[in-house]
Amino acid sequence: MTTSNNESFIQRTCLPSEMLQWNDRNIMSVLKNCLGKELSKVTMPVTLNEPLSFLQRVCEYMEYAEILNKANKEEDPADRMKLVATFAVSALASNWERVGKPFNPLLGETYELQRNDFKILCEQVSHHPPISAFHAESSNYKFYGSINPKIKFMGKSINIQPKGMVTVELTRWNEAYSWSNVNCCVHNVVVGKLWIEQLGTMEIKNHSNGYRAILDFKEASSSQEANKVFGIVENDEKKVRYRLFGKWNEFLKCASEEDYQLCMQQKHVNESMSSHDRNSKKLFSKLNSFKMPSFLGVNIQDDLVGTSELKSLSLNEDADISSDIKSALLWKCKERPAYSSKTSRCSLMLSTLLHRILCVTPIQDCAQIYDISKKVM
């Protein structure tokens, strides 16, 4: 157990019990009659659940709340927008490898979390359809919204649509940013290794000055190619100020539009030279099939451009891992605890339940609900 700066908050360092392994569960016996159905309305075995309420899961949005503190300090609206976009991407990182289903909150159920730099209150405001509302605030920002998750079994995968709008307000600038989260897909539910993908387009709007960020979460053909995200930050005149790239479960970087265009121009030149080099090789291979007069004393191969030098100048196909483009790191995902794979892969943020606060939380707080607390206390 560790003690924070506020002595009333004593935090543990991990969950006390391990999760059941997916291999021990007969998933098909549960899902065989659920094809195309809304899973939030289907009774599921409790062993498929994380030891968390969905309201607690919502709080993981705040794992990288310090990004919003940085955004509130920026003078340039483009810099503020890129950091708000970074926060939106970082909020999805906790979903990585999280295949367990959180408990459905009861109508009127709440969850309150207070840290030294922010506090957040969540409440289940509707049962059918299930809608969860939340409000977080600090001296620098407010973050609030509602989520109505739609979960469907599609035969080999489970699709999750987090319908709803979320909003960030930066208090210093009196600015409001809003967006909707992208869809989530859990692959290989029946056979194979489970893996999670975020896919779709996220548009973040600044309603005060017309700036916006557009993020494209790429769909992958396999788990090895998953998790890539690319985006732009535009001003009110639709002029691109920044390019964003990375992986939503690892990091996000940015490059100025000027540096990006310069790199793309260099890439185009290198590709043209490489194409010319390939054509030259074909020509010389034909010429080499003929016997050259020995008195010429010419070594044709000496005139070829070194292909290794061309390759060293070219930009990698994936700009997010390229060292050729001048970029800055905006965010890097925190490493999960070593025991994470045995405890529902929860982030450290929610593994550290505040014990002393339980004595002052209301009875409807999900930390007080027996079905959940007996698994996590």
Point out the least confidently predicted range of 101-110, 252-261, 270-279, 347-356. 347-356
Q: Between 66-73 and 77-90, two packed helices, what is the crossing angle to 10 degrees? A: 170
pLDDT given for residue 326 in this prediction: 87
Location of each CATH 2.40.160.120 domain in the chain: 2-250+333-370
pLDDT given for residue 367 in this prediction: 65
Mean pLDDT calculated for residue range 335-350: 67
Mean predicted lDDT score pLDDT of the chain:
78
Q: Taking a C-beta distance cutoff of 8 angstroms, is the pair 313, 71 a contact?
A: no
pLDDT band at 294 (very low <50, low <70, confident <90, very high): very low
pLDDT given for residue 51 in this prediction: 79
Of the two residues 118 and 284, the one the predictor is more confident about is 118
Mean pLDDT calculated for residue range 129-156: 93
50-54, 230-234, 256-260, 361-365: which is most confident: 230-234
Asked whether the predicted pLDDT for residue 76 surpasses 70, the reply is: yes
Q: Taking a C-beta distance cutoff of 8 angstroms, is the pair 74, 172 a contact?
A: no
String of DSSP letters for 2-57: EE-SSTT-EE-SS-SSPPPPGGGS-HHHHHTT-BTSBGGGS---GGGEEEEEHHHH
The CATH fold of domain 2-250+333-370:
Porin (2.40.160)
pLDDT band at 335 (very low <50, low <70, confident <90, very high): confident
- Between β-strands 131-137 and 166-170, what pairing exists: parallel, antiparallel or unpaired? unpaired
How far apart, in Å, are the Cα atoms of 88 and each of 20, 166, 205, 244, 316? 31, 10, 12, 12, 26
Amino acid 48 reads L
Amino acid 297 reads G
Environment class of 105 (CB within 10 Å of its CB; exposed 0-12, middle 13-18, buried 19+): buried
Asked whether the predicted pLDDT for residue 349 surpasses 90, the reply is: no
Q: pTM score, two decimals?
A: 0.78
Q: Report the alpha-carbon distance of residue 104 to residue 110 in Å, rounded.
A: 12
Q: What is the pLDDT of residues 1-24, one digit of tens each?
A: 344 444 455 566 666 666 666 544
Asked whether the predicted pLDDT for residue 85 surpasses 80, the reply is: yes
Asked whether the predicted pLDDT for residue 292 surpasses 50, the reply is: no
The continuous run of DSSP H or E covering 66 comes out as helix 66-73
pLDDT given for residue 365 in this prediction: 72
Mean pLDDT calculated for residue range 118-134: 95
- Between β-strands 110-114 and 119-126, what pairing exists: parallel, antiparallel or unpaired? antiparallel
Asked whether the predicted pLDDT for residue 280 surpasses 80, the reply is: no
* Rounded (5°) CA angle 30-97-29: 10
pLDDT given for residue 7 in this prediction: 47
pLDDT given for residue 306 in this prediction: 36
Is cis: bond before 105, omega within 30 of 0?
A: no
Of the two residues 81 and 43, the one the predictor is more confident about is 81
Environment class of 7 (CB within 10 Å of its CB; exposed 0-12, middle 13-18, buried 19+): exposed
pLDDT given for residue 210 in this prediction: 96
pLDDT given for residue 323 in this prediction: 57
Mean pLDDT calculated for residue range 171-179: 98
Q: Taking a C-beta distance cutoff of 8 angstroms, is the pair 61, 68 a contact?
A: no
Of the two residues 354 and 242, the one the predictor is more confident about is 242
Q: Taking a C-beta distance cutoff of 8 angstroms, is the pair 112, 263 a contact?
A: no
Point out the least confidently predicted range of 146-150, 165-169, 245-249, 318-322. 318-322
pLDDT band at 187 (very low <50, low <70, confident <90, very high): confident
Q: Tell me how crowded residue 295 is: count the other CB atoms within 10 A of its CB.
A: 6
47 alpha carbon, distance to own chain's centre? 26
